[in-house]
Amino acid sequence: MQRLTRIADLRQWLAHARSQGKTIALVPTMGALHTGHMALVENARRHCDLVVMSVFVNPRQFGPNEDFDAYPRDLDADCALAQAHGVDAVFAPSTEEMYPHAAGPLIIAGRQANMLCGASRPGHFDGVLQVVCKLFNLVQPDRAFFGQKDAQQVAIIQTFVRDYNLPLEICVIPVVREDDGLAKSSRNVYLNAEERAHAPAIHAALQLCRERLQAGFGPDAALHAARAHIAGIPDSRIDYLELLAWPDLLALGDDESSCIALAAVYVGRTRLIDNITFQR
């Protein structure tokens, strides 16, 4: 497996691969890899000849009081896991390599970014689109793989790719969970034992929301039941809990059949996100 930190080396490696007619998959990550990321890699390997994984903790998607400095980083462990799962090249650039100019043209993510995670993390999705756009331009993949775990990110990236006619296919992989339902996340390492024990209640609450809606209750009643369930998590605070149409993230109409229930919940100091999609 190639371990690349320089854009020039990445380009050289890709030129060689393309000259052999290989198709290229891109799996963008911030590292601290777990089996959720590996599900993306396994799908990428099935669909393309070569898999490039980026490992870059992107400062532009973190707010001033967020966990950019504390975010878990272990590039050697990430590379070992990536290699064991058949990644062909890890691209792990420095911040200076990715952003050599402090003030340049920016990308603004638009309507879908002003709600949910974007409401409590202003500018987050602008930063996501900026790094994703750079990675798409650098790697020029045939397909890029993203996790449904970050549903709003998926919706925003799909809108971006469609509206700006980017020549690649976005592939979305279902949420990978622990046995007790907790969505796998690099941030789960922040949870202490008690918080970890209670955290699966977020997924359970989303399922409860779905069950109520499918049983004929209205969205407000379904959300009320989910909110009450999350309230049982000690030292927790709901950032948002919503039921929307999927994938456009608009208010749920009476005849809407494709739905998403999403939540962001602080468990202690750790902010966890999760979602489930379903037919009404």
Residues 277, 233, 147: CA angle, nearest 5 degrees: 30
Name residues contacting ligand AMP, limited to 163-192 (CB under 6 A). 173, 175-176, 183-186
Q: Distance between CA atoms of 269 and 237, rounded to whole angstroms?
A: 9
Q: Closer CB to ligand AMP, residue 130 or residue 185?
A: 185
C-beta separation of 175 from 275 below 8 A: yes
Nearest approach, Cβ of 145 to ligand AMP (angstroms)?
Answer: 7
Q: Closer CB to ligand AMP, residue 153 or residue 236?
A: 153
Nearest approach, Cβ of 147 to ligand AMP (angstroms)?
Answer: 2
Name residues contacting ligand AMP, limited to 89-128 (CB under 6 A). none
- Number of residues forming the site for ligand AMP (CB under 6 A): 17
Q: Distance between CA atoms of 168 and 48, rounded to whole angstroms?
A: 12
Q: Closer CB to ligand AMP, residue 175 or residue 259?
A: 175
Q: Which residues contact 227 (CB under 8 A, 6 or more apart)?
A: 205, 238, 241
Q: Does the protein bind ligand AMP through residue 149 (CB under 6 A)?
A: yes
Q: Closer CB to ligand AMP, residue 161 or residue 176?
A: 176
Q: Does the protein bind ligand AMP through residue 51 (CB under 6 A)?
A: no
* Helix (H/G/I), strand (E/B), else coil: 263: strand
Residue 70: Cβ-neighbour burial (10 angstroms; 0-12, 13-18, 19+): exposed
Name residues contacting ligand AMP, limited to 25-44 (CB under 6 A). 29-30, 36-37, 39-40
Nearest approach, Cβ of 180 to ligand AMP (angstroms)?
Answer: 13
Q: Does the protein bind ligand AMP through residue 78 (CB under 6 A)?
A: no
Q: Which residue has the tokens 């229930």?
A: 261
Cis previous bond, 64, omega within 30? no
Q: Kindly name the residue from 37, 85, 198, 229 that is annotated as catalytic.
A: 37
Q: Closer CB to ligand AMP, residue 126 or residue 150?
A: 150
Instruction: Give the containing element (helix H, strand E) for 163.
Output: helix 151-163
Q: Does the protein bind ligand AMP through residue 146 (CB under 6 A)?
A: yes
DSSP 8-state assignment for residue 239: E
Considering only 78, 126, 150, 242, the residue that binds ligand AMP (CB under 6 A) is 150
* Residue among 159, 157, 154, 111 at smallest CA distance from 260: 154
Phi, psi for residue 261 in degrees, rounded to 5: -105, 125
Closest residue (Cβ) to ligand AMP? 147
C-beta separation of 130 from 113 below 8 A: no
Does 37 qualify as catalytic in the annotation? Answer: yes
* Residue among 116, 145, 38, 114 at smallest CA distance from 275: 116
Q: Closer CB to ligand AMP, residue 37 or residue 198?
A: 37
Nearest approach, Cβ of 266 to ligand AMP (angstroms)?
Answer: 18
- Residues found near ligand AMP in the complex (CB under 6 A): 29-30, 36-37, 39-40, 146-147, 149-150, 173, 175-176, 183-186
Catalytic residue list: 37
